[in-house]
Structure formats: C-alpha cells, structure tokens
Structure 1
Amino acid sequence: MAVFGHGQLRLYLLSLLATGPRHGYELITALSDRFGGTYRPSAGTIYPRLARLEEEGLVERTAAGRKTLYALTERGHRELADHGEELTLLERELAATVRDLAARVRAEVAGSMAGMRADVAAAAQQARAVAAQQARSDEGHAGETPTARARRRSQSRDRRVQVETELATFRAEVRAALREADARGEVPALTVDTVRTVLASARSAITATLPR
C-alpha cells in the first residue's frame, strides 16, 4: 500500500519541521509515531527528500556535533502556509491510511497467531503422546533397585537444570531486546500481545510433557 502520493511526503516533512529543527532520525521516528508503528520510512527515503528540500531553499542544514539538524527556512515556512488546505486534506487521508494499515496488521497477526497456535497444538499433542509412553515406561519403577532410582532422579535433576538454563537464557535475550527497543520508545502493543499468546501456548505444550 502506497502511504504518500506524489509530493505528499515533501509537504509532510515540512510540517514536521514547522515545530523546530530535527535530526533525520527524529523525522523518521516522528513519521513512525504518526502511523502508530504501522509504517516506518527508511533513511533511503527520507534523506534524499531532505536534500531536495535543501536544494529548493525550503530547508537548511546545520551541524550539531556528529549529527545534522534540518530546519525550515523563511521560504519553507511560506511554502507550508501556502499549502495549508492541502496539508489539512493530507492529514485526513493519512488518518484513513493508518486505519487501513492497522486493519491489515491485525489481520496478518491474527493469521500468524492462528498458525502459531496450530503448530504449538501439534507439538503439545506429540508431547502428550511422549508423556503417555513415558508413563507406561515408568510403571515398572515400583520394582526398580535403589541404584536405578537414584540414577533416574539424578537424570531428572540434570534435565530440570537444562530447562531452567534455557529459560533463563531466553528471558535474558528477550529482556535485552525489549530494553533496547524501550530506550528508543519503540515497544509496540503488538509485542505484548505476541508475548502473551506465545507464552500461553508454550506453557500448555511444556506442561503436557510432564507426568501427573
């Protein structure tokens, strides 16, 4: 789906700079925020347009340490004022586009979640079959020797430690990724929904493997 029509991104960038100078990355983030995270332009999309705006005398660049700030010139402010009605119409069109994009994302996520739940359900079914086989095998434990019982318990403890290690590693990796995204203010609601769905399905599949 095309988000901006011809010349619309140019006008929208000017409107974003109307509140004050911004870095290129800040403009990308501001656009992403306006679309609720459903659309995020690439640097290859934004910077060439900023360069074009500078060539037109609508934007000027200034160095800010290692970064570059972009600001509207007087001509840029006049350009924006001359297209006020067009900008208002653009805002309305973008609001409709955001709703369409959000609907698509929800549909895609629902489909992916359904597929994930099916995969987890299949894994759980297989796990239950393995657990049932293990339970049948364990029926002979009543007559096992003390040495065999100790060995079985030692193996069980080792497996529990392995599982706990895997869980700790998983938690640490996800937590690090979340904190990195949070530092940029980019943890979407979709992440929360995904975690809840995946963990609920995983919990069911894992507990199904444990004898009761």
Structure 2
Amino acid sequence: MPPVFSHGDLRLYLLSLLDEAPRHGYDLMQALSDRTGGTYTPSAGTVYPRLAKLEDEGLVTKTVDGRKTVYEITHAGRAEVAARAGDLEGIQAGLADSVRLIADEVRGSVREAMKSLRADLAAAARADGDAATHRAATATAAEEAGRADAREQLRRAEAIVAEFRGAVRADLRTHVAHGGALAASVVDELSRALDETSATLTRALRG
C-alpha cells in the first residue's frame, strides 16, 4: 500500500494539528486516524520522536498534566505553519488521494476474494445437484455412492469457507497490527459481498 505521508509531511501536519489546539500524544494519534477515515493510525514510536524534534526546534512546548503530557505550539511554530500554508494544502490533497488508494486496494482485495469464493461455492452446489440427479436414476448402491460424494462436496465447501475466513481474519489483523485501521466503508463492502455470496449460493442450491 502507498505511504499516507511523504517524507517530512507528517512533521508539518502534526504542527498544524497543534495550531488548532493543544493536544497530548494520544489525541494527536486519534486526530490523524479521524482525518484519514480510519485508514491510518500512527504508532507512538512514529509520533513522539517527531514531537521531540519539534520541541528541540522551539516550535512546540510540552507540559505535564497529571499522567498526560500536553503539547502546545509556540509563536515560532505558528509562524512556520503560516509560512508553509501552501505546502500544507498540498499535503491535505495528497493525503486525500492516499486514503482513497488504500481504501480502493482493500475493497479490491475483498472483491477478488469474494469472487473466488462464489465460484468455488457455485461449483460445489452444481456438483451436489449432479449427485442428486444421479441418485434418483440409480439403484440403492449407486444412491449410497452419490450420498458419499455429496458429503465429500459438503466437507470441501466447509473447508473452503473456513480457509477464506481464516485468510481474511489474518489479513485484517495484520493490517491493524501494522498501524492501519479499517474504514466503515470497507467493512460495509465486505458485508455486502458476503450477502451477495449467500444469495448466489441459495439460488444455486434451489436451482
């Protein structure tokens, strides 16, 4: 997936967030997640070193409020935000493009997985229908063989569903573990695709 922020852009974006209001570290991470529709949630190891560098440069100050450290922009920091307003507009535009690309990639992966699952389930359903036709035209021994084949196809279908479920869960958990997050639109797309798959299977089994 493409990076959300180019080199140096996160520093300026953090400064712009502090220009809006003083914040502690978690507030900044949450604000970044909110501004990217949940597709980007930076780790503490990403945010705090940049805040420390901004403090060293005299662009922000920090105060301890109970168990929280609150960061506030200085006059010099506000001057840099104002001087780089054009750069900040470019970051905002690039950020929107990056978020759209990430969301499109996730949706594309889900659609491809759903397409493969629908094909496998439809094949299993056709095999089950063929077995049912064969059972009706053969003797008792042949009927038993057909039932065995149907049970095998059922086990195959269940294995396909279980494998798909495990793969999707692993991909989603890996994405979140690496600092990513899922937009509601992506989860909605997954839900719609599964509903379509269920309807396709129902029609195939009745068919």
Length-normalised TM-score, structure 1: 0.63
Offset of residue 187 of structure 1? 5.1
Match of 1:194 in 2: 190
Task: Specify which of 62, 82, 85 is matched with residue 82 of structure 2.
Answer: 85
Match of 2:69 in 1: 69
Tell me, yes or no, if the aligned pair for 1:23 and 1:69 is still in contact at 8 Å.
Answer: yes
Is contact 1:124-1:206 (8 Å) kept?
A: no
Post-superposition offset of 1:83: 1.7
Q: Contact 2:14 / 2:28 at 8 angstroms: preserved in 1?
A: yes
Which residue is 2:128 aligned to? 131
CA shift in 2, pair 1:97/1:38, >3 Å: farther
Distance 1:11 1:186 in 2: 25
The answer as to whether partners of 2:33 and 2:40 remain within 8 angstroms in 1 is: yes
Contact 1:20–1:71 (Cα < 8 Å) also in 2? no
Give 2:113's aligned residue.
Answer: 116
Provide the C-alpha distance between the structure 1 equivalents of 2:55 and 2:45, rounded to a whole number of angstroms.
16
**1:33 matches 2:29:** no
The runs of at least 4 aligned residues of structure 1 exceeding 4 Å deviation read none
Q: Distance in 2 between matches of 1:41 and 1:131?
A: 49
**Aligned residues of 2:121 and 2:201 also touching (Cα < 8 A):** yes
The residue that corresponds to 2:21 in the other structure is 20
Max Rg structure: 1
Contact 2:22 2:70 in 1 (8 A): yes
Give the number of the structure with larger relative contact order, counting CA–CA contacts within 8 Å between residues 6 or more apart: 2
Partner of 1:147: none
Alignment-mate amino acid for residue 39 of structure 1: Y
RMSD: 3.7
SS of equivalent to 1:83: helix
Deviations 1:130-165 (A, max 9, x none): 32134225537xx99xxxxxxx9xxxxxx9xxx9xx
Matched with 2:177 is none
- Contact kept in structure 2, 1:36 and 1:98, CA below 8 Å: no
Following superposition, the deviation at residue 106 of structure 1 comes to 4.5
Corresponding letter in the other structure for 2:187: T
Hey, what's the Cα distance between the residues in 1 that align with 2:36 and 2:83?
19
Gaps of 5+ in 2: 141-146, 148-153, 170-180
Structure 1 portions without partners, runs of 5+? 145-151, 153-158, 175-184
Structure 2 length-normalised TM: 0.64
Identity over aligned residues, as a percent? 30
Quote the residue 2:11 is aligned against.
Answer: 10
